[in-house]
Amino acid sequence: MSRTIVVTGGGTGIGKAVAERFRADGDQVVITGRRAEVLEKTAAELGGKAVVCDGTDPEQVRRLLDELPGEVHVLVNNAGGNTDFGAADGHDDLAVVKNNWLANFDTNVLTAVLATTALMPRLVDGGAVVHVGSIAGARGAGSYGAAKAALATWNQDVATELGPRGITSNVVAPGYTAETEFFQDRMTPDRRNQLLEATMLRREGEVADIAAAIHFLASPAARHITAQVLHVNGGALTTR
């Protein structure tokens, strides 16, 4: 049976790979994001639907509902990123520090909160919510790491609320993953080598690795897995 999948931040990188993975099943996929041209190009490639939506804006998220069907089977909260890249240096200005921290919170937590809250009434019983976290949420990385840690903690509340309806809620936390815009052309060869050496598999993650984990958590095989954080990082961070 074809399902309806909503992927926020679905125009590039991990979000696009997730959309491709579900489309391969014949599912109907709706991708959202802020860049109309990027979204429309990806939607045309995949045969999905694109809806321009800034996930930090409550009004735009509300309008998103007008573009969605009455039932949604899977919500993937992928929108996010480290807004510290390119942000003003605020070490000596507390107002700048505040703005920088709020920017990462809005981008990585509030987007998921608004989308999940808005779509809760439309999620079918037995559906799934998957949030994209980060290794930084466990390892630390300033305001970005703190935001991803908050996302993982809030996920427990989502799982508790949706559990009686048979809806699971989990976090997939990638490590260093190539083929994304995350580092905004700031990755140096030395830094890349450090990240590869930190893994047990001695390779960078691929967007397909993350998409496969998300696809599994939204599958019938994962119906008794909820309120968890699944790390996909090649052994760069272990759970023990």
Alpha helices in 123-220 (DSSP H): 136-139, 142-162, 189-197, 207-217
The three-class DSSP label of residue 39 is helix
What phi and psi, each to the nearest 5 degrees, are found at residue 73?
Answer: -90, -35
Sheet holding 229-232, edge to edge: 49-52, 28-33, 4-8, 72-77, 123-132, 168-174, 229-232
From CA 77, how far away is CA 51, in angstroms rounded?
Answer: 15
Please identify which of the residues 22, 101, 105, 144 carries the catalytic annotation. 144
Residue 202 burial (10 A CB sphere; 0-12, 13-18, 19+): exposed
Of all helices (H) and strands (E), which one includes residue 169?
strand 168-174
The owner of tokens 């809030």 is 154
The answer to whether the beta carbons of residues 48 and 1 sit under 8 Å apart is no
Residue 201: what residue type?
Answer: L
Nearest to 67 by CA among 15, 24, 29: 29
C-alpha to C-alpha distance for 17 and 176, rounded to whole angstroms: 16
CA dihedral sign of residues 3, 9, 11, 14: negative
Active site annotation includes 176:
no
Dihedral pair phi/psi, residue 192, rounded to 5°: -60, -45
Residues marked as catalytic: 144
